[in-house]
Structure 1
Amino acid sequence: MRTQNLTILLLLLFPFIHVSGQYTEELNSSRPGASQGAFSVGKNVLQFESGFSLGKEEHRLLETETNAFALDYSVRYGFLKEELEVSLMGEFQSNTYSYPTLAGRPDFKVSNFRSNTVGAKYLVYDPYRKMELEGPNLYSWKANNRFQWKDLIPAVSVYAGANIDFTENAVDKLTNPFSTSMDELTISPKFVLATQNNWIGGFVFVTNIIVDRVTTEEPVYSYILTLTHTPTDWFSVFVENQGIKSDFYADQLFRGGVAVLINENFHVDGSVILNFKDTPSRTYGRIGMAYRFDMHDSDEYIEEKGKAGRASRKERKAKNKKEKKKNKRMDAVEDDGDGGDGGI
């Protein structure tokens, strides 16, 4: 209930915007939040995102205390067409925890990958493309800068990936504390439905519905809600709520932080994460960066789908045909050989 109230409050407090997006002149990163936006990085763009976290966990029932270090990473590449992106995402974590014994509280260290996922994301619907083609209302500034019901229609993408989970540490052969599988190597699917609204005033609202590891004995279902605001061209802030449900682990996580654009291809960020339960409680600080190699050479027109797309293509084809006929008639006026001076 607390999560729902927080989300509703945030949505009521902030005004709305729509902005077009796919390839952008400035780096477009999923950091520092955990959600995936609907849009890809752009065709022929290679982007690296990474960060490290330091945190502490305390479990009231088990009486354990854990100091954690985590490294997350993401490699994203857009190819073939603007709507498509492939990626490798993962996280490595090392925990040092202590628990009460007759001899005191000895430390015990474990480390392994929380996740390694290879996948692809595809933009299936982009309402901002149609808005961009229609253009602004030239007669009314107010009409272009007020909330409209169509602003609630988000861009939509789908993601499908494969989790590659290792159940043993390759160095000391300890069991992976972040996995419930007993197999040496487990490959399982991950699916994400991502939506994105770009609203007036520099606000972006992203939702993710996630179905993860459904072929294993411990499937995970979760959602992520992320609200980002960019008050300037180089600075942004965000708040985020993530709900996780599985038999192995369930939680409500809250994140907040900032990102600073150093130049069009590089940004740095900082964030915090916490929850409100004590089995365990979690408090983490996180800093990171994103960098892209921009090899995008030309903008690609993203065709509309369905009946509207066919009508639009037909209209453009007829217009091009008309222009060709007009140019042909202009070229048909031949020189009479007098040099244009009337034979004088």
Structure 2
Amino acid sequence: MKSIQTLFVLILGIMSQVSFGQFTDEINSNRPGRSMMAFSVGKSVFQTETGLHYVNEDHNTLDYKASGFMAEFDIRWGLFFEQLELIAEFQYQNDNYTSELLDKNRSALKKTLLGAKYLVYDPFKNYEEKPNLYSWKANHRFKWRQFIPALAVYGGANLNFSDNPFNFAPIDIEEPKVSPKAMIIAQNHFGSHWVLVTNVAYNKIGSDFASIDYIVTLTRGFNKQWSGFIENQGYMGDYYSDGLFRMGAAYLFNKDMQIDASIGKNIKNTPSLFTGGIGFSWRFTKNYKEVKMAKPGTETKTDKKMKKKGEKEAKKRKDAVE
């Protein structure tokens, strides 16, 4: 695990280029998938993303079954900078667990994760694609630039201050109360309809339950209201490894509200998992002030100030020589 930690430190150190976040006219929700997009919600924008899911679990080896519901509640808040976002994620699960020797109800806060995300590179910054007025073919040619992703980094902490019956810890090993999580986020836009989001995370760093996780989500916009997605999520740890597939759709109710539905299934039977649920996303934008970005080739206020300062310094040097 030490080599993995070193790799993450190097990657986070290399990604130091500052860019701007992107506030969209319509709500930009991570739901109904589980991946995290690279772009923030926008400075002073407050957004909530909630979901309610049916959960069914069946373990062939340990011979138990569990079914119930899981509630999700995420808070996203753009703060200080356009490209910075604070994120709080909560999962609560309540189910009925049955085996040959036991029949009980389980309920607990399954996940509490607090963190921050920062957009470090935006391929669309200071880039303006001008149409070719003389060639239809040139305007519709394949563009390699779309393979350059927007990049963001995430850092957070898992909190575990209660007895959690939903973790995969052995009886004689207790999960840490606080464990870090680091993640790299990439987001590609292919044309005007397709978005590919990739998350690679190192979770519960420094603990016995450390794992390398990933999520790959492909979203297709069908029209202004409807979109669909397919997703693959993987866990690679000493105590739990698995792969899950999800699919679903979202409907844009208005520019600040979205509803969604999804189903998911994993690839193993120790345990076998199935989920199906609905969700709702909402954002508050009253305090948002548009961040005006200069077009490529134009001078910003900062550029003008620096130019004026340079002219003054040049004049001082000239006067000193004379």
| TM-score normalised by length of structure 1 | 0.76
For structure 2, list consecutive stretches of 5 or more residues without a partner in the other structure. Answer: 1-19, 309-322
Cα drift, residue 30 of structure 1:
0.3
For structure 1, list consecutive stretches of 5 or more residues without a partner in the other structure. Answer: 1-19, 169-174, 322-344
Change (3 A) 1:296 1:235: farther
Cα drift, residue 182 of structure 1:
2.5
Q: How many residue pairs align between the two structures? A: 286
Query: Hey, which bits of structure 1, 4+ residues long, moved more than 2 A?
Result: 134-147, 179-183, 295-299, 301-304, 311-321
Tell me the C-alpha RMSD between the 2 structures.
2.8
Aligned to 1:43: 43
Change (3 A) 1:312 1:227: farther
> Helix, strand or coil for the counterpart of 1:225?
strand
Q: Is 1:295 paired with 2:286?
A: yes
**1:126 is matched with which residue: 122, 129, 138?**
122
**2:239 is matched with which residue: 248, 257, 261?**
248
Q: What is the CA deviation profile of residues 265-284 of structure 1, one whole-angstrom value per residue up to 9, with x for unaligned ones?
A: 00100000101211111111
Q: What is the CA deviation profile of residues 23-65 of structure 1, one whole-angstrom value per residue up to 9, with x for unaligned ones?
A: 0010000000000000000111100000011021111111111
> Helix, strand or coil for the counterpart of 1:130?
coil
Q: Is 1:317 paired with 2:304?
A: yes
Cα drift, residue 167 of structure 1:
3.6
Question: Which residue identity lines up with residue 131 of structure 1 in the other structure?
Answer: Y
Q: What is the CA deviation profile of residues 60-110 of structure 1, one whole-angstrom value per residue up to 9, with x for unaligned ones?
A: 111111103101110001122211111111211122111124xxxx52111
- Distance in 1 separating the partners of 2:121 and 2:294: 10
Residue correspondence of structure 1 range 154-303 to structure 2 within 5 A:
154-168=149-163, 176-178=165-167, 180=169, 182=174, 186-301=177-292
Question: Which residue identity lines up with residue 62 of structure 1 in the other structure?
Answer: L
| TM-score normalised by length of structure 2 | 0.81
Cα drift, residue 145 of structure 1:
3.3
Question: Which residue identity lines up with residue 63 of structure 2 in the other structure?
Answer: E
Question: Which residue identity lines up with residue 86 of structure 2 in the other structure?
Answer: V
Cα drift, residue 154 of structure 1:
0.2
Contact 1:51 1:72 in 2 (8 A): yes
Cα drift, residue 215 of structure 1:
2.1
Cα drift, residue 319 of structure 1:
12
Aligned to 2:9: none
Residue correspondence of structure 1 range 103-142 to structure 2 within 5 A:
106-132=102-128, 134-142=129-137
- Distance in 2 separating the partners of 1:92 and 1:195: 28
Cα drift, residue 179 of structure 1:
6.0
